[in-house]
């Protein structure tokens, strides 16, 4: 299927690694004009290097998603470089405290996680709105998680933050519909990224030999591209759940 992404102007937060990097490379391979944002300059440089090796050129800007001024400046810079904005993809996030029950988590850790995962998403959305309003068939895609729908143990802050992202997208889909902007989320289960490897104590070999299914960042990137394209023009306010059918299973013993 030709998603008709040639010359689509795309900005991706969290483009320094994982799903953000995979999405940037996938868009570029489809002929889109791509800019990435991250606080990780070294990681962004590697993304640009990988794109160059594949024959593509990306633009980049440094910003922490919790810094409203920096995000607004970064998006404006990239919009100027790209000549506009058709698709905004928000991937930047942190895991927060993992492997600890709520009683062992400090209020500062809770605030830090919510600040990045939730407040950061609002900051990115707010900064992107005026640019998206100027486009035709504009789309905003955020990366949520299956943890928004099922409770991963000892990750209560992360779970709650991703549930917030899902409902934020639904709310924005309704609010921005009059501006012609579609808003959706992708909610994957475990994805083989540096963040999930660190969370689960997986080494450099990756998820080899584990007894549960694992997505690749490229798997998720393909979903992002679909939701960003006119092929999904009837999809709005939706969360594309990529959990291998886990949440569909009944606990009925049969």
Element holding 195 (H helix, E strand): helix 194-200
Collapse the DSSP code of 187 into the 3-class scheme (helix H, G, I; strand E, B; otherwise coil) and give the result: strand
Residues facing residue 181 across a β-bridge:
138
Q: Determine which one of 16, 158, 187, 239 is catalytic.
A: 158
Residues facing residue 243 across a β-bridge:
none
Integer Cα distance of 46 and 44 in angstroms: 5
The answer to whether the beta carbons of residues 158 and 152 sit under 8 Å apart is yes
Question: Catalytic site residue 162?
Answer: yes
Q: Determine which one of 16, 17, 38, 162 is catalytic.
A: 162
Tokens of 42: 């070294």
DSSP conformation letters of 32-89: -EEEEEES-HHHHHHHHHHHHHTT---EEEE--TT-HHHHHHHHHHHHHHHTS-SEEE
Neighbours of 54 (CB within 10 A): 10
Report the Cα 23 to chain-centroid distance in Å. Answer: 9
Question: Catalytic site residue 226?
Answer: no
Report the Cα 7 to chain-centroid distance in Å. Answer: 21
Question: Catalytic site residue 246?
Answer: no
Exposure string for 19-44, b = 16+ CB within 10 A, e = fewer = bbbbbbbbbbbbebbbbbbbbbeebb
Q: Determine which one of 16, 38, 60, 145 is catalytic.
A: 145
Residue with tokens 């998720």: 220
The answer to whether the beta carbons of residues 218 and 22 sit under 8 Å apart is yes
Report the Cα 207 to chain-centroid distance in Å. Answer: 21
Active site residues: 145, 158, 162
């Amino acid at each position: 299927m030709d998603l008709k992404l040639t010359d689509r102007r795309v900005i991706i937060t969290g483009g320094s690694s994982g799903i953000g990097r995979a999405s940037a490379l996938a868009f570029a391979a489809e002929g889109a004009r791509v800019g990435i944002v991250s606080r990780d300059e070294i990681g962004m440089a590697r993304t640009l290097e990988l794109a160059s090796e594949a024959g593509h050129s990306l633009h980049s800007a440094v910003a922490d998603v919790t810094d409203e001024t920096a995000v607004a400046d970064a998006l404006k810079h990239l919009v100027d470089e790209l000549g506009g904005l058709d698709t905004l993809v928000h991937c930047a996030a942190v895991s927060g405290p993992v492997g600890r029950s709520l009683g062992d988590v400090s209020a500062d850790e809770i605030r830090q996680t919510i600040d990045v995962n939730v407040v950061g998403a609002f900051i990115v959305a707010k900064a992107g709105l005026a640019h998206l309003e100027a486009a035709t068939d504009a789309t905003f895609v955020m990366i949520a998680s299956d943890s928004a729908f099922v409770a991963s143990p000892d990750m209560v802050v992360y779970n709650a933050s991703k549930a917030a992202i899902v409902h934020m997208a639904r709310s924005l889909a309704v609010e921005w519909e009059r501006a012609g902007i579609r808003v959706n989320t992708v909610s994957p289960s475990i994805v083989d990224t540096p963040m999930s490897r660190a969370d689960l104590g997986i080494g450099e070999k990756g998820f080899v030999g584990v007894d549960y299914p694992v997505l690749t960042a490229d798997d998720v990137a393909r979903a992002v591209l679909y939701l960003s394209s006119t092929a999904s023009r009837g999809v709005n306010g939706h969360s594309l759940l990529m959990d291998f059918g886990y949440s569909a299973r009944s606990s009925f013993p049969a």
